Structure 1
Amino acid sequence: MAHDKLAVLIDADNARPAIVEGLLAEIAKIGTAHVKRIYGDWTKPDLNSWKDALLRHSIQPIQQFRYTVGKNATDSAMIIDAMDLLYSGRFDGFCIVSSDSDFTRLASRIRESGLTVYGFGERKTPEPFRTACDKFIYTEVLAPATATEVSAGVKRRTAKELRSDSQLMNLLRNAIDAAADDNGWAGLGAVGSIVNKQSPDFDPRNYGYARLSALVNGIGLFETEERHIGNGKHMYLRLRSGKK
């Protein structure tokens, strides 16, 4: 996946320039951004804060005038460009940066064509858009890290807080059950893959942990062990006996 050719499309009205460095670093983990475009009405002063970031990171601004009050012409321009890029056949995936549910159908349409869709948006992003993506990453986790936190935008959850999060615990338990062998052990990689398929917006960083292994250890309800397979080490886990 590291060699995927990606088209990055940013909705300037629904994203903040402070996330750009973290965003592009995240995108670099999954592929190469062959196209980087950002859409907005650049004649308006409220987008001035973007200009330094665009120059620094070679992001191409696309001008879209607001023809009618209350109508978002930016969304239409992004969608039209995305379809043109899709039909070009030059890309393996798209990164859609917005907290706007108007891009839900676009994400679904791109996936129908067999390409991967990565969504990036704030926690307020409506669920339909989040679940329409193969993977959705909250932009709060892209804020620069501090000495004590994985991200300046997310506070680390305690073991008690993690255990009381029924949605998180059910996701992990169900994934472990699905990936487990006869002794109840499941590979961490398989667990992570199942969780991401069930919940595209799952990310250990949402809870203040850099990796899934750290999140699992932070919960404190799972047995873990490292196994040497081939030339590498792989983590396995299972629910501790008597823990439900």
Structure 2
Amino acid sequence: MANDANKLAVLIDADNARPAIVDGLLAEVAKYGTAHVKRIYGDWTGPNLNGWKTALLDHSIQPIQQFAYTSGKNATDSAMIIDAMDLLYSERFDGFCIVSSDSDFTRLASRIREAGLIVYGFGEQKTPKAFVSACDKFIYTEVLVGTEQSEAEVAAAPKSGNELRGDTKLMNLLRNAIDAASDENGWAALGGIGSILSKRSPDFDSRNYGYSKLSGLINGIGLFDVEERQFGNAKHLYVRMRGKGK
């Protein structure tokens, strides 16, 4: 995970994001670095973005005006992409947070990554897979609503063990990640598993299954052995597929 010293640019597509996510969004961004730029793009002359105004003042987010010149053409996307490229060329940032459920930002995310910067995407579950895959990590905004309260509340209504075990895609993803990170005895460090999951599936997030942490999700499945090991003053979790190794 990135550290606090990472300088991030947060760019929000107001037409494809909801004001209700702002608190959770910025709390999530803070996990990866410091937001040195926070901008939101839209046509602020119309009534449809009125719900954003209080959130912008409370969080010092700069609104960028973009008139809708032609019906059916998304001028907001174009303005946001141009600004993102200007910020990229400034060489002041370590990464970008792109907040939208629009696939139009797919090429932008790829271009930023080609320059060696990290891209965090944020959007709804309906976000096209192309944009999700173009990001280093993608967070679905449904899990961000209410995150300012507590992680325990975010993880409401976790899926049952039967539901999790019946999710073939999830199970294959976890098994393959554990196998890739494991030692000769089959044990894999939880941190290593998490890193592999993020690389192989940018939108993987235990909160999508109702668990605030990966360890909770793995325990909830009930098919893995979990062992806590002490290293100095720190404790680390290790995971192994049940029945494998000694």
TM bracket, shorter-chain basis: over 0.9
Comparing 179-188 with 74-83, greater Cα deviation is found at 179-188
Aligned to 2:57: 55
Alignment partner of 2:217: what SS? helix
Q: 1: CA distance between counterparts of 2:66 and 2:46?
A: 11
**Structure 2 counterpart of 1:87, from 89, 93, 96:** 89
The answer as to 2:132 corresponding to 1:101 is no
Q: 2: CA distance between counterparts of 1:30 and 1:149?
A: 20
Cα root mean square deviation, aligned = 1.5
Q: 2: CA distance between counterparts of 1:226 and 1:155?
A: 26
Q: 2: CA distance between counterparts of 1:211 and 1:197?
A: 17
Q: 2: CA distance between counterparts of 1:84 and 1:189?
A: 35
Q: Partner letter of residue 175 of structure 2?
A: R
Q: Partner letter of residue 151 of structure 1?
A: V
Q: Partner letter of residue 228 of structure 1?
A: Q
Listed as ranges, the matches of 1:105-184 within 5 Å are: 105-144=107-146, 150-151=153-154, 155-184=157-186
Q: Partner letter of residue 143 of structure 2?
A: V
Alignment partner of 1:160: what SS? helix
Q: Structure 1 regions of 5+ residues with no counterpart?
A: none
1:168 is displaced (CA, Å) by: 0.5
Q: 1: CA distance between counterparts of 2:223 and 2:20?
A: 36
Aligned to 1:64: 66
Q: Partner letter of residue 31 of structure 2?
A: K
Provide closer, same or farther for how the CA distance between residues 149 and 229 of structure 1 changes in structure 2, counting only shifts above 3 A: closer
Q: 2: CA distance between counterparts of 1:24 and 1:80?
A: 23
Runs of 4+ more than 4 Å apart: 145-149
Matched residue count: 241
Provide closer, same or farther for how the CA distance between residues 23 and 190 of structure 1 changes in structure 2, counting only shifts above 3 A: same
Comparing 123-132 with 178-187, greater Cα deviation is found at 178-187
Q: Partner letter of residue 90 of structure 1?
A: R
Alignment partner of 2:154: what SS? coil
Listed as ranges, the matches of 1:200-239 within 5 Å are: 200-239=202-241
**Structure 2 counterpart of 1:41, from 35, 40, 43:** 43
Q: 2: CA distance between counterparts of 1:49 and 1:181?
A: 52
Contact 2:125 2:140 in 1 (8 A): yes
Alignment TM-score, normalising by the size of structure 2: 0.95
Contact 2:152 2:212 in 1 (8 A): no
Alignment TM-score, normalising by the size of structure 1: 0.96
Q: 1: CA distance between counterparts of 2:120 and 2:232?
A: 31
